[in-house]
Amino acid sequence: MNARVAILVALLGGLMGRSASAQTTVVAGPNGAAPFSLETLNGGDPFRASAQAGSPRTIADSPSTTAVLHSDVGFSYLRPYWPSSGQALRVPASSNAAVPVINPIGNLTNQYGFVPRLDLSYATAAVELGLSFQYLAIGGNLNRTLALDSGSANLLSAYNLSILVINPIELSKPFSMTDLSDHDLVYRLGLDNDVFVASVGLRYQSIRQDFHASLLASGSGLANSDATQNFNGLGLTIGLTNDHPVSEHWGLYSISRTSLLLGLNSRASTSAGTGGTGPYSNVLNETKTNFFPVQELELGLRYLAPLKSGPDAESSPLLSLRVGFVGQFYSGIGFLPAASGTAQFDDRNLYLVGFSVMAGLIY
């Protein structure tokens, strides 16, 4: 009886082998009978396929074991924050009693900015090559009516900020948590499926910002302030990505990045108006090479699943979706305050906060 079953299974295996060629699993026949082979309908190891069903997917998964193409497109939605309020392009108060109102009087009504993003990478068994692109353009405004000793005046101000980020080349290397430690605690905490990707690359970053404020009363200008900044830098960027699966398709992710930029920074500010002693104008210009660190953090939820189901799932491209919180920190590239006379530009930090949505394919 056992021999007949073995022969029947062997015949079925041969019939299935005609419709799909693949690797086979050799199984010894009962009672010393000749060995026979088993294979799934779509080819491959049937025992391996059943063991992987329902297992968590990670960013290291791919339909190919030799080379992987990963593309992500999406956007971030960010708005700026500064550690202090308003504009501070100052002039001596004795020149015009109205001028101090241009100093900090409150936050601008900053708008969220749409930031298109593109990430491309090509990975081999040894290393991964990638490039990325981001562009941010946001603005803010503040319009108020102010009470002065001589009556009322209208304060009109506007702010614009644009940031271009290009990583032309980046080298990445994935590794698992178990590569770092095989301690029992790793498995108890459920970190044995965690995958990390360390990266280092080249970054180009351009920052443009301008601020304009004017104080008007009875149709005439009491004072105005204008400031501009242009920075173009090139430097090193270092990143670390973590993927923590929580189910077959869902997981948590984090992306942290530090960039060190060196480039030419040009700033200019002008405050002008008419005071009790007549017209005045204070101008401050600065152009020098600056070193700016930039830090970025992204935390969120991701979904990872094959585009096809059933027997073709193993060789199907993977669909990747991410939604997360985004925070960026720019040291010394904040609002554009400047003092008059012998004082120099006042450096402040810039914070960008918002969320991101990314969708991609892993081939």
Give all domains of the chain, ordered by start, each with its CATH number. 1-53 (no CATH), 58-362 (2.40.128)
| Residue 199: predicted pLDDT | 94
Sequence-separated (6 or more) residues with CB below 8 Å from residue 294: 205, 258, 259, 260, 261, 328, 329, 330, 331
| Residue 310: predicted pLDDT | 78
The predicted model gives 251-264 an average pLDDT of 96
Band the pLDDT of 15: cuts 50, 70, 90: very low
Residues 135, 116: contact at Cβ < 8 Å? yes
The predicted model gives 115-141 an average pLDDT of 86
Distance CA 310, CA 306 (A): 10
Residue 235: alpha-carbon gap to chain centroid: 17
Q: What are phi and psi of 339, to 5 degrees?
A: -100, 160
Number of Cβ within a 10 Å radius of residue 284: 18
Q: Is it the case that residue 339 has pLDDT exceeding 80?
A: no
pLDDT tens-digit readout, 299-330: 999 999 998 887 777 778 889 999 999 999 99
Select the more confidently predicted residue: 226 or 15: 226
Residues 141, 159: contact at Cβ < 8 Å? yes
Distance CA 69, CA 349 (A): 37
The pTM assigned to this predicted structure is: 0.73
Mean per-residue pLDDT of the chain = 75
CA distances from 117 to 63, 73, 131, 208, 328 (A): 25, 6, 11, 19, 15
The predicted model gives 31-60 an average pLDDT of 50
Which of 266, 306, 271 has the alpha carbon at shortest distance from 288? Answer: 266
The predicted model gives 334-360 an average pLDDT of 72
Select the more confidently predicted residue: 11 or 83: 83
